[in-house]
Amino acid sequence: MAFLDIRNVVIKGVAACVPKAIEENIDIINIPASDLEKLIKNTGVQRRHIIAPGTCTSDLCFAAAEKLIADLKWDKSEIEGLIFVSQTPDYILPATSCILQNRLGISTECLTLDISLGCSGFVYGLSTIAGYMQSGAIKKALLLTGDTSSMTCSSEDKSSYPLFGDAGTALALEYADGDGGIKFHLGTDGAGFESIIIKDGGYRNQTTQSSLDRNTVSEGISRNNLELALDGMDVFSFGISKAPETVKLLIEKFGLEKDSIDYFYFHQANLMMNERIRKKLQLPEEKAPLSLKDFGNTSSASIPLTMVTQTAMELKNGKNSIVACGFGVGLSWATMQCNTENLVIPDLLYYG
């Protein structure tokens, strides 16, 4: 099984940025009001921050990274690694991480990499960058994660549109000799690849005229093949079984004391799912913070966004043992545990 025990790497700070514009779910016009009320209750999503066309995930991550670097008083020339996790890149190619290296004014002596993952992407990206850093060759690195899922959903699809919000985040990591470390459990089940999918626009099904045809799947669900298709049932049953399982496996494998963990940051899928997961693991509400209400499901940004908006005070002042667990599109899942101390966390940033 894919367990990793990476040493000598610590998280120093985290920042998050959302578009300024908010869409209130209760005001969505293409979905009947009675459906909306039920949706809001079940998903726990009251509003979402929505990006303006022409703006990208990388713009949000850029703003978060700039502020975080400034607050950490990092010298940019010391940053030698940058990973960008997103499924809404600037271009099909080149990789957005290359563009971000230049835009952030980071040295050309910096490795960059794009990772195409969503809900599990933050933890996966963390494992990748921590793996690069553990030998000490790289002392400072950035993990940028996020998505602008609002651009990929059909506004006439009640199964996805009211759920997803946009956000970009930045996480700063440092090499710490003999200190710190992050433990991981990572997994994949590609049998479920169609549970969350955008069917056309890649090279299996290239974009054609028919990609834009609007298909009514069922009442309240109408979309084309360039828009996200989400099989809610599949994802629900996957999430409520896999998320508690991977957390349990990590705890057992590394002999962690569940009660000594201060916060469990779960990917913010939807309230029903997150509540079920929390109860299965018998965690008190205050240990499993939620950012769904004001931000929705923000894909790979959901975990750092929750850290910033729900627990900044606690993470900035003192020591914490934290677990983060992402699960979803792929299907893919990942859990990590690490200790943090006096993190640098700028106030939530608003873009636009």
Partner 1 sequence: MQFPLHKYGLVFRLVEESDAAFILSLRTDEGRAKHLSATDNNLQKQIDWIRNYKEREKAGIDYYVLFEDDKQQPLGVFRLYDIKDKSFTSGSWLIKPGCNEFVGLKSDLFIGFLAHEMLHLDDCFFDVRKNNKKVLRYHKRFAKLIGEDELNVYFVMDRAAYEQKSKFLTSIIQSDI
Q: Should residue 72 be labelled a site residue for partner 1 when binding is judged by CB under 8 A?
A: no
Counting residues that bind partner 1 (by CB under 8 A) gives 18
> Which residue in 310, 321, 339, 341 binds partner 1 (CB under 8 A)?
310
> Which residue in 294, 321, 339, 341 binds partner 1 (CB under 8 A)?
294
Cis peptide before 331 (omega within 30 of 0): yes
**Whole-number Cα distances in Å, 115 to 205, 229, 299, 334:** 21, 21, 13, 14
- Write phi, then psi, for 158 (nearest 5 degrees): -70, -15
> Which residue in 4, 7, 21, 199 binds partner 1 (CB under 8 A)?
21
| Shorter beta-carbon distance to partner 1: residue 186 or 301 | 301
Q: Which stretch binds partner 1 (CB under 8 A): 54-62, 114-122, 155-163, 341-349?
A: 341-349
Give 195: exposed, middle or buried? Use CB within 10 Å, 0-12, 13-18, 19+. Answer: buried
> Which residue in 22, 111, 176, 256 binds partner 1 (CB under 8 A)?
22
Q: Should residue 298 be labelled a site residue for partner 1 when binding is judged by CB under 8 A?
A: no
> For the window 35-64, what string marks contact with partner 1 as x by the rule CB under 8 A?
------------x-----------------
**Whole-number Cα distances in Å, 41 to 191, 271, 327:** 31, 8, 22
| Shorter beta-carbon distance to partner 1: residue 143 or 344 | 344
Q: How many CB atoms lie within 10 A of CB 196?
A: 22
Largest CA distance in the chain: 58
> Which residue in 176, 253, 280, 350 binds partner 1 (CB under 8 A)?
350
- With residue 6 as reference, give the H or E element that holds it: strand 2-7
CB of 246 vs partner 1, minimal distance in Å:
26
Q: Which stretch binds partner 1 (CB under 8 A): 20-28, 55-63, 135-143, 330-338?
A: 20-28
Nearest to 169 by CA among 349, 328, 352, 38: 349
CB of 72 vs partner 1, minimal distance in Å:
14
Q: Which stretch binds partner 1 (CB under 8 A): 133-141, 162-170, 307-315, 332-340?
A: 307-315
CB of 49 vs partner 1, minimal distance in Å:
9
DSSP letter string, 124-165: HHHHHHHHHHTTSS--EEEEEEEEEGGGTS-TTBTTTTTTB-
Cα–Cα distance, 15 to 65 (Å, whole number)? 7
> Which residue in 316, 321, 339, 341 binds partner 1 (CB under 8 A)?
316
| Shorter beta-carbon distance to partner 1: residue 159 or 306 | 306
Q: Should residue 27 be labelled a site residue for partner 1 when binding is judged by CB under 8 A?
A: no
- Contacts of residue 109, Cβ cutoff 8 Å, sequence gap at least 6: 80
Q: Which stretch binds partner 1 (CB under 8 A): 105-113, 160-168, 311-319, 333-341?
A: 311-319
- Write phi, then psi, for 26 (nearest 5 degrees): -65, -20
Helix (H, G, I), strand (E, B) or coil at 72: helix
Quote the Cα angle for 164-323-143, to 5°: 65
Q: Should residue 230 be labelled a site residue for partner 1 when binding is judged by CB under 8 A?
A: no
Q: Should residue 340 be labelled a site residue for partner 1 when binding is judged by CB under 8 A?
A: no
Q: Which stretch binds partner 1 (CB under 8 A): 154-162, 232-240, 285-293, 323-331?
A: 285-293
Q: Should residue 150 be labelled a site residue for partner 1 when binding is judged by CB under 8 A?
A: no
Cα–Cα distance, 26 to 36 (Å, whole number)? 6
> Which residue in 45, 130, 348, 351 binds partner 1 (CB under 8 A)?
348
Nearest to 182 by CA among 305, 75, 334: 334
Q: Should residue 20 be labelled a site residue for partner 1 when binding is judged by CB under 8 A?
A: yes
Give contact residues for partner 1 (rule: CB under 8 A): 20-22, 47, 286, 289, 293-294, 309-313, 316, 346-348, 350
